[in-house]
Chains A and B, each alone.
Chain A
């Protein structure tokens, strides 16, 4: 006959179960996000959607299973971290964390880590010449041209 479970064993079992469910909820959240993109529910154009979906695709343009699993597992793991201190299972929080974990991560990084190329490119393409300089140059040129024709 099996021995009854002790109090601490039950507690650990309950906690483990909560964390497992949180992981699954986070996993589903991440999967839901990729699915919404894949089935074109969000994004203004294919080009915009592909910017996000491209890392999940293999050379043939199909979704790469292990990359998708990797992404979803991180969503699940983050949901577990947030579930741990909670006294009860919070499935909605876990699900939402699974969906939005990239935004949470990017909010907490700073400086050079945070998408330096976009800032650099914006700075690089910002024009330096002003409209006033352009107008002045055109006026000066008119004066010179008039000197060529003036009698």
Chain B
């Protein structure tokens, strides 16, 4: 298969399926979000991705390296407001209490449906300067992701 043929194939053939590693639920404690953020920043900053899911596992918010600065500022302000000079009692604070909509990005700009052509996904990555693109099913539930850093190897595997 050459590159031109590959670009007409559905995006799911280049999708990595481990997106649940990047998922945090709105009902989770914020320490889970903090730990996940810490893990992702130190693992590979450029591939940073956290998807925030609701109770039905649909994507509510996406955070990539681009949103990270605003996210961390909001997170810091939020924690500061709970501090009151004492150790923060994080056991009662949920992710949904943070005003994620202040910085979170629209799903349309960072996600594609799993059946669209690879070409469209590549256009989105290129035009929006994305490092990671989320792949969703028709119900907006995450099925995987495409990392810019992995594209070269993926293409090398699939192109003759």
List residues of A whose CB falls within 8 A of some B CB: 54, 117, 120-121, 123-129, 133-134, 136-138, 140-141, 143-145, 147-151
Contacts and interface: CB of A to CB of B under 8 A. Distances in A.
Which 4 pairs from chain A and chain B are nearest by CB? A140-B72, A134-B45, A117-B3, A129-B46
Interface size class of B (residues with CB under 8 A): 35 or more
B65 A133 contact: yes
B38 A141 contact: yes
Contacts, number: 86
6 contacts: A129-B45, A133-B65, A133-B69, A137-B65, A138-B41, A144-B75
Given A124-B126, A129-B46, A150 B65 contact: no
Interface of B: 2-4, 31, 34, 37-38, 41-42, 45-46, 48, 65, 68-69, 72-73, 75-76, 79-80, 83, 86-88, 90, 122, 125-126, 129-131, 148-149, 151-152, 155, 160
Given A140-B73, A144-B76, A148-B88, A128 B130 contact: yes
Q: Which of A54, A144, A148, A149 has the most CB of B within 10 A?
A: A144
B148 A127 contact: yes
Given A124-B125, A125-B149, A128-B130, A133 B87 contact: no
Contact of A140 (B4, B42, B69, B90): B69
A121 B75 CA distance: 36
B87 A137 contact: no
